[in-house]
Amino acid sequence: MSPSNPHNTPGSPKAKLLPIRKADNNFQRAEVIKRNREKRTQYGQFLVEGVAQINIALKHDWKVIAFLYDGSRSLSQWAQELLRTHPADEHWELSTELLAQLSEKDEPSEVLAIIESRRLTPDVIEPCADGLVVVFDRPSSPGNLGSSIRSADAFGAQGIIVTGHAVDLYDPFVVRGSMGAIFGLPVTTARSHTEVLDWVTKARNAGFPYRVIGSSGKAEASVHEVDLRGPTVLILGNETVGMSRGYWDICDSVVRIPIGGALSSINISCAASILLYEITRQRAAKLP
């Protein structure tokens, strides 16, 4: 273990330099949080790869435990600046082979990061006059959840609530699918619809008249027929079984996306994008 980091300059953040040339305990920790949900929860850490994702995480002040990079490779100006200026507890100089084992890409990114996870509750989401909160009920596909988080961010959601037995928010496929959006808005968890209803009740008592809008292929009303301009909590059910009974009971309206073709349903991330677009469209159009 080296006592100093050559990437530091005077006044820059101090980080412990760890040259890692074999699968030691540090490497094994990185590898296990990449693939094992239980260990991610135990350590409170997860692995992030990609320039965009790392940049967004740093922009929103997520704590970096370690930056990981190939110690034998010449780094880009971006990577050098990253290591020189952004705080991290440690810098890991990995061998080319070890970095490739941690990467999800055919050509590994030049920098990976181990980041401290955040376990947030719905109370961190602040209600507002034009608010939009998206709730995912027991999502089972990491890729779909990541893409849906990205869509929610793109269409102006103020926060996300993931409820029930669901995929891990910090699964690599969720993080990658979100393209960094998971770092930019509150992504929270709750046990069930009752905590969502508690949040809605508090928001209403504070003067924000949120309506709970569910989505289901079994709904009678098309999404185009329901006014979605006011403060809204949008519920998206499980990919296979849809919304739980509890969500049906608390919804003010339930809408469907009119579709045709041989299949009776569409991918949940596609459904999320369509519903979110319709909310945005109605609000922008200022319909009477």
Q: Report d(CA 275, CA 157) in Å as an integer.
A: 12
Cross-sheet strand order for the sheet of 159-163: 187-190, 159-163, 132-137, 232-236, 211-215, 253-256, 221-222
CA-angle at 127, arms to 122 and 129, nearest 5°: 155
Which of helix, strand or coil describes residue 78?
Answer: helix
Look at residue 12 and tell me whether its pLDDT is greater than 60: no
Kindly report the average pLDDT of the chain as a whole number.
91
pLDDT at 209: 97
In this predicted model, what pLDDT tens digit does every residue of 81-91 receive, in sequence order? 999 999 999 99
In this predicted model, what pLDDT tens digit does every residue of 145-196 receive, in sequence order? 999 999 999 999 999 999 999 999 999 999 999 999 999 999 999 999 999 9
Look at residue 236 and tell me whether its pLDDT is greater than 90: yes
Look at residue 2 and tell me whether its pLDDT is greater than 70: no
Burial 224-233 (b: 16+ CB within 10 A, else e): eebebeebbb
User: Domain coordinates of the chain in residue numbers?
Assistant: 16-116, 122-285
CB within 8 A of 130, min separation 6: which ones? 231, 283
pLDDT at 259: 78
Which of helix, strand or coil describes residue 154?
Answer: helix
Higher-pLDDT residue of 235 and 264 is 235
pLDDT at 14: 79
> Three-state secondary structure along 137-152?
ECCCCHHHHHHHHHHH
pLDDT at 1: 35
Look at residue 288 and tell me whether its pLDDT is greater than 60: no
In this predicted model, what pLDDT tens digit does every residue of 128-154 receive, in sequence order? 999 999 999 999 999 999 999 999 999
Please compute the mean of the pLDDT values over residues 214-232 and round it to a whole number: 91
In this predicted model, what pLDDT tens digit does every residue of 24-38 receive, in sequence order? 999 999 999 999 999
Look at residue 265 and tell me whether its pLDDT is greater than 70: no
In this predicted model, what pLDDT tens digit does every residue of 42-57 receive, in sequence order? 999 999 998 999 999 9
**Topology classification of domain 122-285:** Alpha/beta knot (3.40.1280)
pLDDT at 85: 93
Please compute the mean of the pLDDT values over residues 261-270 and round it to a whole number: 73
**Topology classification of domain 16-116:** 60s Ribosomal Protein L30; Chain: A; (3.30.1330)
- Let me know if the fold of 16-116 is the same as that of 122-285: no
